[in-house]
């Protein structure tokens, strides 16, 4: 009953002062994740699991590569084919460790327009996953794990109950019906899975409101920042890009994709020839890439190793988040805003989703001229006291604190379900 009443509110934080888990053994976690563990960009799933490993033993089942990935050379072939161990142990910077499992190659399923065919293909894939994950759990001695399904609702529904789990959680960090890479069948799979999960964890309050229609037991654990990695550094060595001749460097950290407002960006960049605009991240939108490449004061640097990202941000004078305001971005709590702020950088962003948490620390603008003026103003007002305030704010939003919130929620929900049974 308590879980239901709590779920009626938008929970920014879980009250850790009330639900302390001291003296209780933390159950092991089995997470089915969408991202690869060693990726070329920051993901909330990997960041949270890395910190949750301080409280729980963790088995992370990483992105399920398909036969297509294998054929095109986009997958760790020897591990996928079982020529190398599928399971490996990872030591983390926080002193904890966890286990990562690579599944055999899945049959591609998203290509088919048929909902029934997609379901049949995913049934085969779920049987394949079950045949590998169960022995891994036995090897590790994981009994009755808490299963966290991270944006894999088709698998979540088909594997429900397969591991004698004590709790089944759905971690939702994007609006699946608007995500182009998964929306074809994702929305249907999610509608099926939502009521089957014991609880839903979302990364923004907007997502919580949207998913509550499918599961009343819905909570919010906001995205955070790796405040040990993203911290002010003494400038040393050369910048990872050439900025000679420009008054300031305006930087963007993240994917160049469908979320960006290219019309606004084009107008701002054209009106600011004295600034160098740096984009650090994957390029997933050829049309957007072409538009940005047409400007002399733009550099697209592509994906960079996660450990190198603070070095890029350190050489930014200002960070931007020029997102469209649409269904895809409405539920986003952006990772990059806290990464900029943690390094003391001023930030200019468009208004998308709920930006209320940041209004005192960033500049917001919704048209090209307002965005340009906000950049000029933010650069002019970048005083030491403002930088310190940004850093202090970002430190409150560390991934360690977010993981503590999620850990306490897991412990409370586990106890409540046990008491009901």
Q: Does residue 238 lie within any of the structural domains?
A: no
Same domain, 52 and 194: yes
Q: So what's the pLDDT on residue 236?
A: 64
Same domain, 406 and 361: no
Q: How confident is the model at residue 155 (pLDDT cuts 50, 70, 90)?
A: very high
Which pair of structure tokens corresponds to residue 406? 């999620």
Same domain, 277 and 165: no
Same domain, 254 and 219: no
Same domain, 14 and 43: yes
Same domain, 187 and 330: no
| Cβ atoms within 10 Å of 416's Cβ, excluding its own | 18
Q: Does residue 204 lie within any of the structural domains?
A: yes
Q: Does residue 285 lie within any of the structural domains?
A: yes
Q: How many distinct structural domains can be found in the chain?
A: 2
Q: Does residue 242 lie within any of the structural domains?
A: no
Q: What are phi and psi of 21, to 5 degrees?
A: -105, 15
Section 411-421 average pLDDT: 92
- Residues 2-24 as b/e (b if ≥16 CB within 10 A, e otherwise) read ebeebbeebbeebebeebebeee
Directed axis angle between helix 262-271 and helix 286-293, to 10°?
Answer: 10
Rounded to the nearest integer, the mean pLDDT of the chain is 91
Same domain, 279 and 372: yes
Which pair of structure tokens corresponds to residue 248? 């300031």
Among candidate residues 12, 11, 13, 45, the one with its CA nearest the CA of residue 29: 45
- Residue-wise pLDDT tens digits, 18-77: 333 444 689 999 999 999 998 777 799 999 999 999 999 999 999 999 999 999 999 999
Q: Does residue 333 lie within any of the structural domains?
A: yes
Q: So what's the pLDDT on residue 356?
A: 87
- Residue-wise pLDDT tens digits, 372-383: 999 999 999 999
Which one is predicted more confidently, 95 or 179? 95
Q: What is the CATH number of the domain that holds 172?
A: 3.40.50.11010
Q: Does residue 192 lie within any of the structural domains?
A: yes
Which pair of structure tokens corresponds to residue 342? 């943690």
Same domain, 276 and 182: no
- Residue-wise pLDDT tens digits, 244-273: 999 999 999 999 999 999 999 999 999 999
**Counting beta carbons within 10 angstroms of the beta carbon of residue 161, is it exposed (0 to 12), middle (13 to 18) or buried (19 or more)?**
exposed
Q: So what's the pLDDT on residue 217?
A: 97
Q: Is the pLDDT of residue 4 over 50?
A: no
**Counting beta carbons within 10 angstroms of the beta carbon of residue 72, is it exposed (0 to 12), middle (13 to 18) or buried (19 or more)?**
exposed
Q: Is the pLDDT of residue 141 over 70?
A: yes
Q: What is the CATH number of the domain that holds 257?
A: 3.40.50.2000
Q: Does residue 317 lie within any of the structural domains?
A: yes
Contact 297, 325 (CB under 8 A): no
Same domain, 377 and 411: no
d(CA 349, CA 321): 5
Q: So what's the pLDDT on residue 14?
A: 37
Q: So what's the pLDDT on residue 18?
A: 32
Same domain, 133 and 220: yes
Same domain, 195 and 286: no
Same domain, 176 and 298: no
Q: Does residue 75 lie within any of the structural domains?
A: yes
Q: So what's the pLDDT on residue 22?
A: 42
Q: Beta 167-172 vs 248-253: how paired, if at all? A: unpaired
Task: Return the percentage of the chain with pLDDT > 70, whole number.
Answer: 93
Could you tell me what percentage of the chain is helix, strand and coil, using 3-state DSSP and rounding each to the nearest 5?
A: 40, 15, 45
The structure's pTM equals 0.90
Which of 71-85, 207-221, 226-240, 274-288 is least confident? 226-240
Residue-range definition of the domain harbouring residue 210? 2-224+399-420
Q: So what's the pLDDT on residue 183?
A: 82
């Amino acid at each position: 009953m308590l879980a239901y009443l709590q779920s009626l509110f938008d929970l920014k934080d879980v009250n850790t002062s009330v639900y302390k888990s001291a003296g209780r053994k933390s159950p092991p976690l089995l997470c089915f994740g969408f991202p690869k563990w060693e990726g070329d960009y920051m993901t909330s799933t990997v960041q949270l699991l890395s910190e949750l490993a301080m409280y729980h033993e963790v088995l992370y089942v990483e992105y399920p590569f398909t036969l297509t990935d294998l054929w095109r050379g986009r997958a760790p072939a020897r591990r996928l084919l079982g020529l190398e161990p599928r399971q490996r142990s990872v030591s983390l910077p926080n002193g904890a460790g966890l286990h990562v499992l690579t599944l055999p190659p899945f049959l591609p399923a998203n290509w088919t327009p048929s909902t029934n065919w997609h379901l049949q293909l995913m049934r085969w894939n779920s049987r394949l996953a079950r045949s590998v994950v169960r022995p891994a759990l036995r090897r590790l001695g994981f009994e009755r794990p808490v299963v966290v399904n991270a944006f894999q609702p088709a698998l979540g529904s088909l594997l429900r109950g397969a591991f004698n789990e004590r709790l089944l959680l759905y971690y939702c960090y994007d609006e699946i019906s608007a995500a182009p890479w998964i929306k074809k069948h994702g929305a249907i799979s999610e509608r099926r899975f939502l009521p089957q999960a014991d609880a839903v964890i979302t990364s923004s309050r907007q997502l919580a409101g949207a998913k509550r229609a499918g599961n009343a037991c819905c909570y919010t654990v906001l995205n955070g920042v790796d405040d040990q990695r993203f911290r002010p550094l003494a400038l040393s060595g050369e910048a990872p890009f050439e900025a000679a001749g420009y008054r300031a460097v305006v930087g963007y950290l993240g994917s160049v994709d469908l979320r960006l407002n290219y019309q606004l960006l084009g107008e701002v960049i054209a009106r600011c020839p004295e600034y160098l605009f740096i984009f650090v991240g994957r390029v997933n939108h050829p049309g957007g890439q072409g538009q940005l490449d047409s400007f002399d004061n733009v550099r697209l640097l592509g994906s960079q190793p996660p450990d190198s990202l603070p070095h890029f941000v350190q050489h930014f004078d200002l960070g931007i988040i020029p997102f469209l305001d649409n269904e895809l971005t409405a539920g986003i709590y952006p990772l990059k805003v806290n990464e900029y702020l943690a390094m003391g950088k001023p930030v200019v962003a468009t208004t998308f989703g709920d930006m209320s948490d940041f209004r005192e620390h960033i500049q917001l603008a919704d048209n090209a001229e307002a965005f340009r003026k906000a950049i000029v103003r933010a650069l002019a007002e970048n005083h030491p006291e403002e930088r310190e305030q940004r850093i202090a704010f970002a430190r409150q939003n560390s991934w360690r604190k977010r993981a503590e919130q999620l850990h306490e929620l897991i412990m409370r929900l586990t106890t409540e379900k046990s008491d009901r049974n």
